[in-house]
Amino acid sequence: MIIDINFIGLIIASIMASAVPLILASCGELITERSGVLNLGVEGMMIIGAISGFALMTVTGSLIIAVFGAMLAGVLISTIFAFLTQTLITNHVATGLALTIFGIGISAMIGKNFVGIPGKEFPVLFEGLKDTIPLLGPILFGHSIVFYFAFSLPFITSYFLKKTKIGLIVRAVGDSPESASNQGINVRLVRYACILYGGAMSGLAGAYLSMIYTPQWIENMTGGRGWIALALVVFSTWNPIKILIGAMIFGGLTIIQFHMQAIGVRIPVQFLTALPYIVTIIVLVVISRDSRKIRLSTPSSLGKSFHKDN
């Protein structure tokens, strides 16, 4: 049997495409968590991004307004979270869960009018170069700008955290907000910024789903990807490069199990559907076993409220 080498390229490209929302949301949440804030509202922020992007696209007709609008929607809903947890010092876990429930509810409400409306085609870059290189062509070329952004994000995030002053400040705040505050760093400001950035990335991840990946609005269309993104952050031990690996494994297994189901492999469907979740977590646990490194990269103050007393 001859397998078309470009077909393999296409499968890899589709795996990468399914990894995009996970990478975006995880890298955003990673920055939030590195500053010591645990935001469990990723799923909620994603779904808000998804409906906002789709609705703005339908209403205004502008893809640019839609994409940035979705990010802004993510920022706005995460502002609620930031205000509650940083200004009113509420519990991170409870507030994050409430955010997810809120997001799913309100998106369903807004989305009622958009069910069944077809999406728009999103422009892709380097379409013409797709056939120039075998195998690599379909992998590298012919994707949306969001796709390219997502795959550069882990590297940008890693550089930002390790090499820049602001990245250092974010890590410092996550390590010890008390010390940071005594050093004259405005802990609350840093955490607000990190939460809002996480919201923007989740919003973008949602918009990718409803505008590019499956261009339509379906209620609850994020389908738990926000939770997977959260798990990726933890199991990657807050390492953006490992997030990339984890997202690819998860995306890959999701796609492959679809194909396996289609071919009719004699394995129970439920097991196949569960496979990506199990394997991703096992792989990430195995590659992140060094407990010394875990200690060094885990934000020590994660999920703890910081209240500056005077």
DSSP string, 190-207: HHHHHHHHHHHHHHHHHH
47 contacts 101 by C-beta, under 8 angstroms: no
Q: Does 296 bind other proteins (CB under 8 A)?
A: yes
- For residue 305, what are the CA distances in angstroms to 37, 86, 136, 187, 188? 8, 7, 47, 11, 10
* Interaction pattern, residues 180-219, with other proteins; x per rule: CB under 8 A: xxxxxx----------------------------------
Cβ 292 to other proteins, closest distance in Å? 5
Cβ 256 to other proteins, closest distance in Å? 36
**34 or 225: CB nearest other proteins:** 34
N- to C-terminal Cα separation, the chain? 75
Which one-letter amino acid corresponds to residue 284?
Answer: L
Cβ 36 to other proteins, closest distance in Å? 12
Q: Does 164 bind other proteins (CB under 8 A)?
A: no
Residues contacting 273, CB < 8 A, separation 6+: 257
Only one of the segments 150-158, 162-170, 255-263, 267-275 lies at the binding site for other proteins (rule: CB under 8 A); that segment is 162-170
Residues contacting 299, CB < 8 A, separation 6+: 33, 34, 35, 36, 171, 174, 175, 238
Task: Indicate which single residue of 168, 265, 274, 285 sits in contact with other proteins (rule: CB under 8 A).
Answer: 168
Number of residues binding to other proteins, judged by CB under 8 A: 23
Cβ 185 to other proteins, closest distance in Å? 8
Task: Indicate which single residue of 28, 190, 297, 302 sits in contact with other proteins (rule: CB under 8 A).
Answer: 297
Cβ 81 to other proteins, closest distance in Å? 25
Q: At what angle do helices 240-263 and 269-287 cross, to 10 degrees?
A: 160
Task: Indicate which single residue of 132, 178, 214, 259 sits in contact with other proteins (rule: CB under 8 A).
Answer: 178
Which one-letter amino acid corresponds to residue 77?
Answer: I
Which one-letter amino acid corresponds to residue 102?
Answer: F
66 contacts 211 by C-beta, under 8 angstroms: yes
* Interaction pattern, residues 63-82, with other proteins; x per rule: CB under 8 A: --------------------
In whole angstroms, what is the distance from residue 274 CA to residue 270 CA? 6
**2 or 309: CB nearest other proteins:** 309
**37 or 99: CB nearest other proteins:** 37
And the tokens for 134? 């075998």
In whole angstroms, what is the distance from residue 52 CA to residue 217 CA? 10
**167 or 215: CB nearest other proteins:** 167
Binding site for other proteins (CB under 8 A): 165, 168-169, 171-172, 175-176, 178-185, 291-292, 295-298, 300, 310
